[in-house]
Chains A and B, each alone.
Chain A
Amino acid sequence: MNFNYFFSLLALLFIQQVSYAQHEISGTVTNKKQEPIAGANIYLKGTYDGAISDENGHFNFTSEETGMHILVISFLSFETKEISGEITNFKNLQVTLVEKFDALEAVVINAGSFEAGTTSEASVLKPLDIVTTAGSVGNIIAALETLPGTQSVGEDGRLFVRGGDASETQTFVDGLRVAQPYNASVRNIPSRGRFSPYLFKGMSFSTGGYSAEYGNALSSVLVMDTQDEAEEDNTELSFMSLGLGIGKTKNWEKSSITLNASYANLGPYQSLIDQNVKFDKPFQSIAGEAVFRNQFKNGLLKVYTAYDHSAFNVEQPINGTTQTVDLKNNNFYVNTSYQHSLGNKWHLFGGISYGNSQNDININAEENDQLVDDTENSFHVKAKLSKRFTDKIKLNFGAEYFNTDFEQSYQSEAGNFTPNYTSGLFSAFTETDIYFTQNLAAKVGLRATQDALLEEVYVNPRLSLAYKIDKNQQISTAFGNFRQQAGQDYLKFNQDLFQQKATHYILNYQFSKTSTTLRAEAYFKEYQDLLTYTGNEITYNSNFSNAGSGYAKGIDIFWRDGHFKNLDYWVSYSFIDSERKYQNYPEKVTPNFVANHNLSVVSKYWIQSLRSQAGFTYNFNSGRPYNNPNTSDFMAAKTKSYHNLSFNWAYLLSKQQILYVSVSNLLGTKNVFGYDYSNTPNASGNYTAKAIRPTADRFFFVGFFWTISDNKNRNQLDQL
């Protein structure tokens, strides 16, 4: 080896560079429709030589490279293309780019369901909307009642969906069942959702046709997910006309905890505002929630737990007389879930939930004093595996077990009873999402449930299809069979009742464009094997059967628009026609919780100069049926229509302090939900009626919310 060799090598290198310098690379980039793509990045792989395409899709650059090369053409949202070849051949190329399969842009299977808080376009409500919707006062359920498909049943407070009663909705937190999602209450006193909206990152509310993953619900599922990560460390204080609250968030390296505790007392409010119902002891509750999260290398552990104790004593009219009801409730709920990425696009989910609810109810009536104590223990265990085979095929399958143990002690002059039951539901489910193209997708699912009380297996198919017409429009359909076991009131006396059945048919059209969403959904729902009983109310000696049936059909329309600066509003309208024969109905009629027309208008206006958000919510529903025993027709009378205009005002005192005022029923409409009739006719042969009205015509709420950041570097107190 000598230097000559070395120099000749260098020279060779040099000569090569010189002699082959400046190759021109040029061409045109278009999409499938031959439309030019501007701004595509074209370059020789492994080099810095490249250019971007102009408005006509043309590109042109020179390179000193030689030999075989790979030319890369990349543009956002399109599949990157690589062409390999001799550099001299990269001239006047015609490059066609194919659009990438993008889950966010693809058709969404959404017949029946409303997403809230997710980033997808299907999201119609954000978590914050729940807090800032006038009339909701932080109650998740009240905010959901501004969505179409729901019935607002003022004397009950729970979710009623598409002709189904409140028991037909099942609630899940992080995929696991919540057996008691509402505060305990007694008849005609509305209950509230137990959850604080701040702890949840998103929710999916389905009014029908939902996934095979969810079962034991005839009408609807509400799926809420707690936040995966906490916000910055802080302390939150709330001072409300109804009580006090404190919250705390703490982060560590891999884990975080969010806690909140609250005390509520309706006493001061009830003494200020005229009440339609007499409370001997005002509603009081003490409640706490905690979410703990721990991030592992490939997994996430979440623990959510909630406890509340509530009590009140109320005088209420019943069957023409008055009784006092004293209620104490203890409720505990804990749920632990774990998600793990197994690699190779396999994903594992496992979780367990436990709920314990205890009621202590004393009823003092003229005729019959009753002492009712009951305890419900409910378990849910679930495991799920999912695998994404390609971008276009996803498989989900799993198994779960629901266990409910109920025990009651009932003492009255009629005797002492201890009705109880233990039920077990074992289910397996499988579901496949298939994207035939970016514009056409199907979800095919099957759910099988074995009911331990009946030793029977129910198999329920679910099917959804969605087709994207163009960038902004899509249609989807859903079909499914849904089963639900008999409720507590029935099972405690009779454990041989079949599961009730509903079949859903849904057709959905959605138009969405940046800030505008229009959804129109038509549905038909058929009920079979509904539960019936004989007598005035459910007792141990009623005759029970699955002889009931019914239907619901209607149209739900949702419109949300954000075109106006600082104004956000949505309108929901539902038309429903529903009849059913169930409970002790002598014939098939429209049940008392169904109003044919429901309308909600929610508006929020941001006033920059006042740093305030003002909002109005208007709810309307047409009259609801009630039974007037003075006529021979069952459930043939109708109440007058319901109106409620609510207002709220949130004023940002500083970044950390919010003053919030809310008033419901501004116009003071005297709403009537129905009538309670005496059991026996009076001297003139008439049954006397007492109107069932809201506990108060107006509801006032004033709150001051203060977030104190624990970030020591910024002292908020100095800035006040």
Chain B
Amino acid sequence: MKTVIILFLLTISEALSAQNYEEAMQKAMQAWEKGNVETASAIFERVAAVEQENWIPDYYLGLVNTTAAFGTKDEKVLENQLKKAETALQSALLKTEENAELLVLEALIYTVKITQNPMTNGQKYMPKINEIYAKAEKLEPKNPRVKFEKAQFDLGGATFFGKDTAPICKEIEASITLFDEFENDTPFYPNWGKEQAVKALENCKN
């Protein structure tokens, strides 16, 4: 009987904490949606500090800072965002094996560096990014974000060099199918990108 109660109590506390995790993540997501990057980043950071075996909060901490960095003009802020994103990625990799989602995040961090300083970083990181996407594709061929982000990256190159973008648009189209098929039951598992893909495909057709 004693054990039953203890087990029961344990379940309750587990449930309480899970609810808390969900609430906190939810709160961060809402802040992010409202464009409140700093708050979202801070909450993800707090959650990541508690969740010693869950890479997802770190992933979002990295993602929120990386996506924000694309639009950052201030050099100091940019440096901080990149530093946060890189630290988060490292922290996530301590908690889990390398996976496609984390590889996409890594590629995005390098992409920020290229967009912010194409002259010095272009040649330096372009091969690196190609390598990361190739690795991610091998790891999870059906991951829609890998397919889409890789296509986006190739699209940038093709537009720059005035090459035909039709084959890349086909890849984007294929990624949309993958987005529809993608399933993962883990709460808060990365699930973004379809909207961007649909938009990118529209741009392709224009």
Tell whether, in the assembled complex, residue B38 and residue A52 are in contact, meaning their CB atoms are under 8 Å apart.
Answer: yes
What is the CA–CA distance of A77 and B50 in the complex, to the nearest angstrom?
Answer: 21
Interface residue tally for chain A (C-beta within 8 Å):
38
Pick from B5, B46, B157: contact of A43, CB under 8 Å:
B46
Pick from A41, A48, A232, A568: contact of B23, CB under 8 Å:
A48
Tell whether, in the assembled complex, residue B158 and residue A48 are in contact, meaning their CB atoms are under 8 Å apart.
Answer: no
Pick from B46, B80, B137, B163: contact of A76, CB under 8 Å:
B80
Pick from B38, B120, B161: contact of A126, CB under 8 Å:
B120
Pick from B80, B127, B164: contact of A231, CB under 8 Å:
B127
B15 contacts chain A at the CB level, 8 A cutoff = no
B126 contacts chain A at the CB level, 8 A cutoff = yes
B45 contacts chain A at the CB level, 8 A cutoff = yes
A298 contacts chain B at the CB level, 8 A cutoff = no
What is the CA–CA distance of A76 and B120 in the complex, to the nearest angstrom?
Answer: 26
Question: Contacts A39-B38, A48-B43, A566-B119 given: A719-B134 contact, CB under 8 Å?
Answer: no
B39 contacts chain A at the CB level, 8 A cutoff = yes
Tell whether, in the assembled complex, residue B2 and residue A43 are in contact, meaning their CB atoms are under 8 Å apart.
Answer: no
- Chain B residue at smallest Cβ distance from A251: B131
Chain B residues in 8 Å Cβ range of A422: none
Tell me how far the C-beta of A597 lies from the nearest C-beta in chain B, rounded to whole angstroms. 31
Tell whether, in the assembled complex, residue B1 and residue A654 are in contact, meaning their CB atoms are under 8 Å apart.
Answer: no
B124 contacts chain A at the CB level, 8 A cutoff = yes
Tell whether, in the assembled complex, residue B131 and residue A231 are in contact, meaning their CB atoms are under 8 Å apart.
Answer: yes
A709 contacts chain B at the CB level, 8 A cutoff = yes
B114 contacts chain A at the CB level, 8 A cutoff = no
A46 contacts chain B at the CB level, 8 A cutoff = yes
Chain A residues in 8 Å Cβ range of B128: 231-232
Tell whether, in the assembled complex, residue A48 and residue B131 are in contact, meaning their CB atoms are under 8 Å apart.
Answer: no
Chain B residues in 8 Å Cβ range of A77: 80, 83
Tell whether, in the assembled complex, residue B161 and residue A654 are in contact, meaning their CB atoms are under 8 Å apart.
Answer: yes
What is the CA–CA distance of A128 and B126 in the complex, to the nearest angstrom?
Answer: 14
What is the CA–CA distance of A198 and B54 in the complex, to the nearest angstrom?
Answer: 40
Tell whether, in the assembled complex, residue B158 and residue A232 are in contact, meaning their CB atoms are under 8 Å apart.
Answer: no
Chain A residues in 8 Å Cβ range of B47: 48
Tell me how far the C-beta of A479 lies from the nearest C-beta in chain B, rounded to whole angstroms. 35
B49 contacts chain A at the CB level, 8 A cutoff = yes
Tell whether, in the assembled complex, residue A48 and residue B42 are in contact, meaning their CB atoms are under 8 Å apart.
Answer: no
Tell me how far the C-beta of A571 lies from the nearest C-beta in chain B, rounded to whole angstroms. 19
Tell me how far the C-beta of B167 lies from the nearest C-beta in chain A, rounded to whole angstroms. 7
What is the CA–CA distance of A354 and B167 in the complex, to the nearest angstrom?
Answer: 51
B145 contacts chain A at the CB level, 8 A cutoff = no
Chain A residues in 8 Å Cβ range of B127: 231-232, 234
Tell whether, in the assembled complex, residue B164 and residue A719 are in contact, meaning their CB atoms are under 8 Å apart.
Answer: yes
A436 contacts chain B at the CB level, 8 A cutoff = no
Binds B, one of A140-148, A304-312, A710-718: A710-718
Give the most central of B9, B130, B164: most A CB within 10 Å: B130
B206 contacts chain A at the CB level, 8 A cutoff = no
Chain B residues in 8 Å Cβ range of A6: 5
Question: Contacts A1-B5, A48-B50 given: A655-B45 contact, CB under 8 Å?
Answer: no
What is the CA–CA distance of A611 and B127 in the complex, to the nearest angstrom?
Answer: 18
A448 contacts chain B at the CB level, 8 A cutoff = no
Give A669-720 interface residues, CB cut-off 8 Å to B: 709, 711, 713-714, 718-719
Interface of B, secondary structure class, is helix
- Chain B residue at smallest Cβ distance from A710: B134
Chain A residues in 8 Å Cβ range of B39: 52
Chain B residues in 8 Å Cβ range of A43: 46, 49
Tell whether, in the assembled complex, residue A611 and residue B160 are in contact, meaning their CB atoms are under 8 Å apart.
Answer: yes
Give B110-165 interface residues, CB cut-off 8 Å to A: 119-120, 123-124, 126-128, 130-131, 134, 137, 154, 157-158, 160-161, 163-164
A445 contacts chain B at the CB level, 8 A cutoff = no
Chain B residues in 8 Å Cβ range of A231: 127-128, 131
Tell whether, in the assembled complex, residue B5 and residue A48 are in contact, meaning their CB atoms are under 8 Å apart.
Answer: no
What is the CA–CA distance of A48 and B42 in the complex, to the nearest angstrom?
Answer: 10
Tell whether, in the assembled complex, residue A514 and residue B75 are in contact, meaning their CB atoms are under 8 Å apart.
Answer: yes
Tell me how far the C-beta of B83 lies from the nearest C-beta in chain A, rounded to whole angstroms. 6
What is the CA–CA distance of A318 and B127 in the complex, to the nearest angstrom?
Answer: 51
A38-49 to B contact mask, C-beta < 8 Å, 1/0: 010101011111
Tell whether, in the assembled complex, residue A76 and residue B134 are in contact, meaning their CB atoms are under 8 Å apart.
Answer: no
Question: Contacts A606-B119, A652-B161, A719-B164 given: A50-B84 contact, CB under 8 Å?
Answer: no
- Chain A residue at smallest Cβ distance from B24: A48
Chain A residues in 8 Å Cβ range of B131: 231-232
B32 contacts chain A at the CB level, 8 A cutoff = no
Chain A residues in 8 Å Cβ range of B49: 43, 45, 72
Tell me how far the C-beta of A330 lies from the nearest C-beta in chain B, rounded to whole angstroms. 34
A257 contacts chain B at the CB level, 8 A cutoff = no
Some 16 contacts from A to B, beta carbons below 8 A apart, are A1-B1, A43-B46, A48-B24, A48-B46, A48-B47, A48-B50, A49-B46, A52-B38, A52-B39, A76-B83, A128-B120, A232-B127, A232-B130, A652-B161, A713-B134, A713-B137
Q: A48-B50, A655-B161 are in contact. List 19 more A-B contacts (CB 8 A).
A: A9-B9, A39-B38, A41-B46, A43-B46, A47-B50, A48-B24, A49-B46, A77-B80, A126-B120, A128-B123, A128-B124, A231-B127, A232-B130, A654-B161, A654-B163, A655-B157, A711-B130, A711-B134, A719-B158
5 closest A-B pairs by beta carbon, nearest first, are: A48-B24, A231-B127, A232-B131, A52-B42, A41-B42
